[in-house]
Amino acid sequence: MKIKILVIIVLVLFTKTMFSQDPNFHIYLCFGQSNMEGSAAIEAQDKTTHSRFLALQALDCENLLRKKNIWYPAIPPLSQCYTGLSPADYFGKTMIKYLPDSIKVGVINVAVGGSDIRLFDKAIYKNYTAMYPAEWFDKKIRDYGGNPYKHFINLAKQAQKDGVIKGILLHQGEANQDDEKWPEYVKTVYNNILEDLSLKAEETPLLAGELVHKEQNGVFSSMNSIINILPEVIPTAYVISSKGCEVSDDNVHFNTAGVRELGKRYAVKMLSLKE
C-alpha cells in the first residue's frame, strides 16, 4: 500500500512538472489592424530570431510549414500566412535582449487589416465583419472563424497553460479616424480580455501605439490626439510614440525600419513598467 501511494505521489509530481504553467514564460497579446498585422517588407535580418522568443501560430499556414496552436520560433510573419513585419517582432527581440536568460517571451498576434476596433468587441463584432466589399477582407475574417476576438481569446487560453500573460499590445485607429469614442471602445475590449482570461489590470498593462505622425504627413495623424487620451480612460494604458518612425510611401503604414523602431519602443516601455 505504501509503495502504491508513493508511486501515485511521484506520478502527480511528474505530471505537474511536465504540464504546469511556467512562470518564466512571459506572454504578450498583440492585436489591431494592418500595422500590427504586418505590412512592412520582411528582410533577411528580420528572420534571425532567438530560441527564447516564440510565437503561438494563429492559423494553419502550409507556406510556412506551421500548424495552428503550436509554439514556433518567432520568425516573421507572426500573424496570418502572407503578412509582413509587425511591431510584435522587434518587441519580442528587444524584450529578450534585456530580460534575464531564464525568461522566455511569447507573442500571440491576431490582427485584421482595415478593421474597426469594434471588430474585437464580442458583443457587437458582427456589425464590423463586412466593412469592405472585398474578398481580401472577407477572407481575413473567415480565417479567424468569423470571430477574430474569440479566436484571439482561445489562443490566449491555450497559452495560459504554458506561461503567464504579462501585457497587451495594440496598434489600431486608422479605421476609426477622429472618432472620439475610440478610447471607450478600447476600454470595452480591454476589460473583456481581462475578464475572459481572468487577468488583473494592474498586472496586465495595455500599450497602444500612435499612428504615422503629422511630421511625416500621416494620413490619419489626427487620430493620435485621441489615442493619447487613452491613459485617462484606462489607468493601466500607455501610449507609444511613433514620432520619427520611418513610413511607407502611402503615409499610412510604417516601413521596415519604422516597424523595427516602433516594436523596440513598445518593449522599452514594457521593460520600464517592470522596474
249-258 confidence digits (pLDDT tens): 999 999 999 9
Mean pLDDT within 21-45: 97
Whole-number mean pLDDT of the chain? 93
CB-based contacts of 107, cutoff 8 Å, min separation 6: 27, 28, 29, 30, 54, 55, 56, 74, 78, 88, 91, 92
Q: Which of 26, 151, 171, 253 is catalytic?
A: 253
The answer to whether residue 253 is catalytic is yes
146-188 confidence digits (pLDDT tens): 999 999 999 999 999 999 999 999 999 999 999 999 999 999 9
Whole-number Å distance between alpha carbons of 40 and 260: 10
pLDDT band with cut points at 50, 70 and 90 for residue 220? very high
Q: What is the pLDDT of residue 273?
A: 96
State the fold for domain 21-273: Rossmann fold (3.40.50)
Q: Which of 105, 111, 91, 98 is nearest to 159 (CA)?
A: 105
Whole-number Å distance between alpha carbons of 135 and 114: 13
Q: Residue 61 pLDDT > 70, yes or no?
A: yes
The answer to whether residue 250 is catalytic is yes
Whole-number Å distance between alpha carbons of 150 and 63: 25
Q: What is the pLDDT of residue 9?
A: 34
11-20 confidence digits (pLDDT tens): 333 333 334 6
pLDDT band with cut points at 50, 70 and 90 for residue 2? very low
Contact in structure between 28 and 165 (CB atoms under 8 Å)? yes
Global pTM reads 0.92
Q: Which of 26, 34, 151, 221 is catalytic?
A: 34
Q: What is the pLDDT of residue 14?
A: 34
Mean pLDDT within 27-46: 98
Q: Residue 6 pLDDT > 90, yes or no?
A: no
Count of residues for the chain? 275
Q: Give the cell for residue 38.
A: 504586418
Whole-number Å distance between alpha carbons of 109 and 57: 8
* Residue 202 burial by Cβ neighbours in a 10 Å radius (0-12, 13-18, 19+): exposed
pLDDT band with cut points at 50, 70 and 90 for residue 1? very low
pLDDT band with cut points at 50, 70 and 90 for residue 133? confident
